[in-house]
Amino acid sequence: YFQKALKEIAPKLETTSPLHTILCYHFGRVIARFIFLESKLRELFGRTRPVRVEAAFQINIDDFTIVGKIDRIEETEGGGILILDYKTGTIDFCPDHITQGTHFQALLYLFGAETFSHSCIGMLFYDLKKGELRRGILKEECVSLETKRAITRGHVLSQGKFTAICDAGKTRLQKIALAINAGDFTPSPDPQACRYCDYAPLCRKGHGRA
């Protein structure tokens, strides 16, 4: 499948090309982790069934419409759905990031999953860089004790806390959307985020002014 896709995307790429060698090498590294992660997925949730990939969704929050795509949606043995998001870079996430307004991907995917099913048990980041399936946000009532122990501490939440975090994240999201709509782009500098920001030259913080 990889070779077929490569020919479709780059039909003129010769197999003797260094680029072809590099692409095959990196695919080999990723697929090895993928096979391991699939076995880990079964270990955590039993037999699952992929029901959607690249699942497009559209959600409305007040007067704002948000569109996106979910990498993969699995149906678990219990009938609930689990969202998986492939990551090849470093993952820095904990559920509290949602309430702090620093990470909205998990929240938006959870809302997006509701357009497909009302029995979503949560979301996990499918870490192809480290070969891990440990970070995300899951409902405690929907997973086994063994699964809870295998997931990063604090990422499996009771129904009450799960709902509270989603509600707080939605409120944060509404405030940001309203500010954008009003043309309010007040800088909110952060030592970590500012290091990787592409817009420092356009931000007064980037020019040394608060």
Please say if the pLDDT value at position 208 is more than 70: no
Cβ atoms of 74 and 48 within 8 Å: the answer is yes
Please say if the pLDDT value at position 209 is more than 70: no
Look at the block and give the residue holding tokens 């678990």: 76
Per-residue confidence (pLDDT) for residue 82, from 0 to 100: 96
Closest-CA residue to 152 (of 92, 86, 67, 76): 92
Q: Give pTM, 2 decimals.
A: 0.82
**CA–CA distance, 189 with 69 (Å, rounded to integer):** 29
- pLDDT above 90 covers a percentage of the chain that reads 62
Residue 154 DSSP SS3: coil
Per-residue confidence (pLDDT) for residue 206, from 0 to 100: 52
Dihedral-angle region of residue 94 (phi above 0 means left; psi in -120 to 50 means alpha; beta otherwise): beta
DSSP element (H, E) containing 106: helix 105-113
For residue 69, give every residue at least 6 positions away whose Cβ sits within 8 Å of its Cβ, in sequence order, or none.
54, 55, 56, 57
The string of pLDDT tens digits covering residues 24-34 is 998 998 888 99
Higher pLDDT, 192 or 7: 7
Look at the block and give the residue holding tokens 């990422």: 155
Please say if the pLDDT value at position 202 is more than 60: yes
